[in-house]
């Protein structure tokens, strides 16, 4: 089938090719309503589809950004991506979302694919092992914004939660409820991912601040598949914790599954606080206390920073943007524990 070109649209609409081009780029300043309607009708009759690749080559931009997310299964990730997409749609940009599945090799493949597609910029939730690749992108002039991670060598702005404060809020709430044996569970920290490391560090600082000893056996960081077994062993030890902080939403889900399987009563036998809001927090019985991130504000900020960097080589932005967590106190952390 012969491809419909701008010249074909111009001929049917009885206007010049440049006028059709102005219409497609929404530059209507000197265009009458009659002309706009003729072009619109011609496009519909011919089923004309703009060649965005060719347009991008001419304009030296594609009006497309790439978002690489370490693991799209996290509620945090999907909500942030939604906010980024909303902002880009408002500014007539397209978004290509790539899920790395926490696999650095897959992440690297997506970086190369997006470069080949000539995206105008990147927003990335790094897996942790390709920061040197992103650093090279930045050195080559690509706009890059890091989400939920600190960038490499302070290159590229980062948008993330004040993770230490999140853990401190959880520890302090447990203490206020009379719970002093407190543990924290998170997925593996082998990749040195910023939020996991900072949340464990905030937990330790909060214990020290309250003159409570740090018990290394109360700190679990392991693969998602191994969380249930590790928590089960901890709860069966001679001195188990009375409260647990789940380091993220997927960790929380594994802990709740384990409690159901082992008939652990929440909060009577084990009080729980999850970092990251989850859709089922109010529906679960008992309802789950969470520490929420302002995901939509964070996603919008990341998009704003990227557009600022794409539109100005001299855009001066801070290196790190921290957002404050908010605690949603529910039944899973209250002090009606068995004595």
pLDDT band for position 60 (cuts 50, 70, 90): low
Identify the weakest region by mean pLDDT among 82-96, 118-132, 201-215, 220-234. Answer: 118-132
Instruction: Average the pLDDT over 201-221 and give the result.
Output: 97
If you ran DSSP here, which 8-state letter would residue 154 be given? G
Q: What is the pLDDT of residues 95-106, one digit of tens each?
A: 999 999 999 999
Percent of the chain with pLDDT strictly greater than 70: 91
Q: Tell me if residue 64 falls in helix, strand or coil.
A: strand
Q: What is the pLDDT of residues 288-316, one digit of tens each?
A: 999 999 999 999 999 999 999 998 765 55
* Chain mean pLDDT for the chain: 90
- For the CA atoms of 259, 261, 262, 267, what is the dihedral angle to 10 degrees? 20
CA atoms within 13 A on the CB side of 241: 31
Length of the chain: 339
pLDDT band for position 338 (cuts 50, 70, 90): very low
Scanning 210-327, the segments in alpha helix (DSSP H) are: 227-235, 249-261, 295-311
For the sheet containing 121-125, what is the strand order?
94-99, 64-69, 121-125, 144-147, 158-161, 320-323
CA angle, 110 as apex, 106 and 111 as ends, to 5°?
A: 115
Scanning 94-193, the segments in alpha helix (DSSP H) are: 104-116, 131-139, 163-176
For residue 153 the two structure tokens come to: 């060598």
Dihedral sign for Cα 13, 17, 18, 22, please. positive
- pTM for the predicted model, two decimal places: 0.82
Q: How far apart are CA 10 and CA 251, in angstroms?
A: 58
Check pLDDT > 90 for residue 148.
yes
Q: How far apart are CA 273 and CA 270, in angstroms?
A: 10
- What is the Cα 37 distance to its own chain's centre? 41
Q: What is the pLDDT of residues 65-98, one digit of tens each?
A: 999 999 999 999 999 999 999 999 999 899 999 9
Question: From residue 245, how far is each of 174, 186, 263, 266, 321 by CA, in Å?
Answer: 10, 9, 19, 13, 25
């Amino acid at each position: 089938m012969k491809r419909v070109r701008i010249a074909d649209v111009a001929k049917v609409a009885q206007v010049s090719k440049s006028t059709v081009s102005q219409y497609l780029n929404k530059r209507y300043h000197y265009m009458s309503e009659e002309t706009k309607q003729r072009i619109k009708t011609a496009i519909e009759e011919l089923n004309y589809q703009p060649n965005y690749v060719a347009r991008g080559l001419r304009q030296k931009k594609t009006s497309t950004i790439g978002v690489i997310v370490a693991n799209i299964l996290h509620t945090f990730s999907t909500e942030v991506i939604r906010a980024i997409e909303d902002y880009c749609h408002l500014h007539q940009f397209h978004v290509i979302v790539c899920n790395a599945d926490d696999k650095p090799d897959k992440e690297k493949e997506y970086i190369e694919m997006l470069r080949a597609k000539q995206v105008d910029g990147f927003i990335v939730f790094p897996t942790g092992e390709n920061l040197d690749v992103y650093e090279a992108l930045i050195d080559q002039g690509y706009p890059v914004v890091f989400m939920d991670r600190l960038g490499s060598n302070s290159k590229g702005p980062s948008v993330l939660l004040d993770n230490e404060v999140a853990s401190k809020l959880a520890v302090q709430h447990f203490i206020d409820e009379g719970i002093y044996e407190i543990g924290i569970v998170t997925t593996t920290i082998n990749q040195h991912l910023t939020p996991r490391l900072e949340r464990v560090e905030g937990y330790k600082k909060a214990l020290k601040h309250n003159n409570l000893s740090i018990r290394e056996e109360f700190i679990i960081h392991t693969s998602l598949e191994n969380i249930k077994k590790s928590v089960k062993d901890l709860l069966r030890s001679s001195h188990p914790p009375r409260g647990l902080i789940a380091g993220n939403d997927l960790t929380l889900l594994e802990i709740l599954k384990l409690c159901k399987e082992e008939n652990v009563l929440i909060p009577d036998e084990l009080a729980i606080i999850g970092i990251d809001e989850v859709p089922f927090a109010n529906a679960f019985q008992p309802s789950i206390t969470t520490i929420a991130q302002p995901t939509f504000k964070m996603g919008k900020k990341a998009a704003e920073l990227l557009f600022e960097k794409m539109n100005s080589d001299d855009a001066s932005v801070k290196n790190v943007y921290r957002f404050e967590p908010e605690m949603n106190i529910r039944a899973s952390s209250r002090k009606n524990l068995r004595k």
